[in-house]
Amino acid sequence: MATILSPDQSRVLLRPFNPGDDERATGIIARIMSLPEEDLGPLLNELCTEFSSRHDQIRNRALERFEQVRELVPADVEVSEQRRLLIGAYFLAEYSLESAALFNPSIVPHPDQTGLDRGALRFILSLRATGEGHVSSITFRTGIIHRDHRIEVTPPTGFLTEPRQVPNPVYDKALFGRKLLELGLAGDFKRRVMDRLGHSFSLEELRASLKAEQFRLPDGITQEAHEEAQAIWMLARSNYEVQFQPEQQISERIIFPATPSQRNGIEDARFVRFVDDDGAHTYYATFTAYDGKVVVPELVETSDFLLFRFITLNGPAARNKGMALFPRKIDGQYAMLSRQDNENIFLMRSDNIHFWNEHSLLLKPSFPWELIQLGNCGSPIETDAGWLVLSHGVGPMRRYCIGAFLLDRDDPAKVIGRLREPLIRPNASEREGYVPNVVYTCGALLHGRTLIIPYGLADHATGFATVPLADVLGAMS
């Protein structure tokens, strides 16, 4: 029986609820404050009875939320713990994480490979979960690929949890300054702000420097300086870290949009296990940040799937969707596949993973099933024959198919093989969904000599395909 992961509307996340502007929120709090104290206990008991089985530590979450809106409560008013709990509850809401879709997966080896039978591989599967308002986030599953290539996905467990933001991350001054220059910030205001900082600095130190510079100006801050201050602060907040707790199972860890550039979604994360120069492994994922109008490629880094570092990508080549990192450096440089023009696949190289300045054309649409556009379907997979790249092609009736091509191992700018026909195309049982006639993946892996390909079905659910590597390479021309 085929393994299909379908969206589950019961997987709910507790998130801040913002009913509108401060005036409306103040009115809501005033109405809560007018409730008799003797009515609060029964109301809270009812809430805990209904929602404690759905969320962990719900009382703590309500108190935390109260602290976030405390400034809307009159300063001279004493607020009991029961009333604080109730105010916090009114400003929380459940969000059904995958009420619309669970799709576009990528797959990487799990950091922990202990306790397995010979020939088995434990994996982490990342998925794009889409819920109310078509907002997308990253969710995870774990599982095992058995020796016979049978795929076993572990059922998700427990309460869903967002990570805590690391409160005061440290920035490298030289790297941060280079990113500011890439953004066109080279004025005196920016120079004076940065001059106050050491070789490394914290977010609070940056805040203090910005405030000091704003108050230094005798006639007040100019509009130009104000815009520079906003841009400096936004860059800092867009390069951030979040931390999960070790006791949280991987399927309980949710990465929800957290910055203005991600406001409407974190889409299509392409995870890859990257081999560093010293042989250590780092997991990177390129993803598309979407604010409702503009898409921006960004990067996330982790070594353990507990601490995640979010990184802005800079340079003229870091734009559009579908960037995918090679799993190691080539000739001392990072390499990335991209699609800057919405149609063709490009190759990028860089000395620094944060900055991408050059790109060269690699592949154009050639066959009937891909004449609208081409794109990668995840990071290249290294084989003895070359770099195997899964691709997507869009053809008539906006049908998405998955194909493949092969790049030279030493010079990935050379295409040495290509499938003339799709490897996977939507069949009769897979074509119905949120977006019909689409199969799509954000990353596969090689298990022995067999390709394991998780893929999205009609932008709704996720299935798996297995295919011998020899069959794929043998069909290339």
Could you state, in order of their start, the residue ranges of all structural domains in the chain? Answer: 18-90, 101-164+240-474, 167-238
The pLDDT of residue 167:
85
The CA angle 185-187-193, to the nearest 5 degrees, is 90
| Ramachandran category for residue 344: left, alpha or beta (phi over 0 → left; psi -120 to 50 → alpha) | beta
Which of 73-77, 147-151, 471-475 bottoms out in mean pLDDT, i.e. has the lowest? 73-77
Topology adopted by domain 101-164+240-474? Tachylectin-2; Chain A (2.115.10)
> pLDDT for 350-399, tens place per residue?
999 999 999 999 999 999 999 999 999 999 999 999 999 999 999 999 99
Residue 323 has pLDDT above 60, yes or no: yes
Distance from C-alpha of 138 to C-alpha of 126, rounded to nearest angstrom: 7
Residues 297-304 have a mean pLDDT of 97
C-alpha to C-alpha distances, 261 to 176, 255, 465, nearest whole angstrom: 18, 14, 34
The confidence score (pLDDT) of residue 168 equals 84
- Check residue 450 and give its pLDDT: 98
Matching residue, tokens 């090689």: 446
CA angle 399, 377, 380 (to 5 degrees): 150
pLDDT band at 187 (very low <50, low <70, confident <90, very high): confident
Whole-model pTM: value is: 0.94
The rounded Cα 258 to chain-centroid distance in angstroms is: 10
Return the pLDDT at 287: 96
- pLDDT of 218 reads 60
Segment 137-142 shows an average pLDDT of 98
Q: Residue 217's pLDDT is what?
A: 61
- pLDDT band with cut points at 50, 70 and 90 for residue 162: very high
Looking at residue 1, what is its pLDDT?
A: 52
pLDDT at residue 335 greater than cutoff 80: yes
Nearest to 132 by CA among 24, 253, 6, 15: 15
**Predicted local confidence at residue 199, as pLDDT:** 97
Q: Is 75 exposed, middle or buried (0-12, 13-18, 19+ CB in 10 A)?
A: exposed
CB 102 within 8 A of CB 457: no
- Cβ atoms within 10 Å, residue 291: 15
DSSP classification of residue 66: H
**Distances in whole angstroms, Cα of residue 129 to Cα of each of 57, 101, 141, 270, 309:** 24, 6, 12, 14, 20
How close are the terminal C-alpha atoms of the chain, in Å? 33
Residues of the chain with pLDDT > 70, as a percent, come to: 99
Can you tell me the mean pLDDT for 94-121?
A: 97
Q: Give the model's pLDDT for residue 223.
A: 82
Task: Compute CA 456 distance to the chain's CA centroid, rounded to the nearest angstrom.
Answer: 16
Q: List pLDDT tens digits, range 4-51.
A: 999 999 999 999 999 988 999 999 999 999 999 999 999 999 999 999
Residues shown for the chain: 477
Q: How far apart are CA 273 and CA 294, in angstroms?
A: 28
At 212 the three-state DSSP class reads helix
